[in-house]
Amino acid sequence: MIQIKNLNKSFQLYNQNDTNINVFKNINFRVNKGEIVALTGNSGTGKSTLLKLIYGSYVISKGDVLISDINIRKSSPRDILKLRKNKLGYVSQFLRVVPRVPTIEVVIEPLLEIGCEKKIALKKAQEILERLNIPKNLWNLSPLTFSGGEQQRVNIARGFIHNYPYLLLDEPTASLDQNNKNVVLDLIEKAKINGSAIIGIFHDETARNKVATREVNLENL
């Protein structure tokens, strides 16, 4: 279960006239196993910020984020890295990888991190890349040369190759065609059935309606 308790986030920008930006205040909700909560609200309401707070990339100003019994605000960097490696997945819109590393190697990385045998990891990667319609002749090339949609699917392959019990999705279907969008939605649905607790941002309403069990609108909180 992911639990958000009285969560506040503000940014203090010291070099920009000490501006203080309040993103949101007192957010409360919880996501159980097998649930997908879709975050909604206009641009600038803090949807991506909330995901980054849960993932530990942003610093919590006030309140708590609990992932099962782990309190993110109180966790050391090492604890957060361990949590990410084993339990907490995050699929963003942007692919950040070391240049020159082939796609297949990028995709198996999360499995190697948890000590999976390379042979098994490669097999899983092939399956998921095939499923996501990434042409086989691209697997040994760096994804940095790919189109936006292809890069996003590599990111998705990487995010879904390991069955994370907690999953954060930032626009996972944003630049995909209908066919690939459906593949991704199926992957999300499957993760839900497997019992993952998922929080996602889906601008595409049909996609959202298809997978979300509930919506949390950040404007009404």
Partner 1 sequence: MNQDFLFKASNISKYYGQNIGCKNVSLDINPGEVLGIVGESGSGKSTLLNCIHGNLEVDEGDIFLNDKSKTILNFTKISEPKLRLIQRSDLAFVHQNPRDGLRMNISAGGNIGERLMAIGHRNYGEIREIAANWLEKVEIDVSRIDDKPSTFSGGMQQRLQIARNLVTRPRLIFMDEPTGGLDVSVQAKILDLLRNLVRELGIAAVIVTHDLAVVRLLADRIIVMQNGNVIEAGLCDQVLDDPQHKYSQLLVSSVLQV
Q: Give the footprint of partner 1 on this chain (CB under 8 A).
A: 11-15, 52, 56-59, 77-78, 80-81, 96-101, 112
Beta carbon nearer to partner 1, 112 or 120? 112
Beta carbon nearer to partner 1, 78 or 119? 78
Minimum distance, C-beta of residue 53 to partner 1, in the bound complex (Å): 9
Specify the pairing of strand 62-67 against strand 70-71: antiparallel
Burial 178-197 (b: 16+ CB within 10 A, else e): eebbebbbebbeebbeeebb
* Helices marked H in 16-56: 47-55
Minimum distance, C-beta of residue 137 to partner 1, in the bound complex (Å): 21
Position 86, amino acid: N
Could you tell me which residues come within 8 angstroms of residue 32 by beta carbon, excluding any fewer than 6 positions away?
1, 197
Minimum distance, C-beta of residue 71 to partner 1, in the bound complex (Å): 15
Beta carbon nearer to partner 1, 43 or 78? 78
Distance, CA of 87 to CA of 84 (rounded, Å): 6
Beta carbon nearer to partner 1, 59 or 120? 59
Minimum distance, C-beta of residue 50 to partner 1, in the bound complex (Å): 13
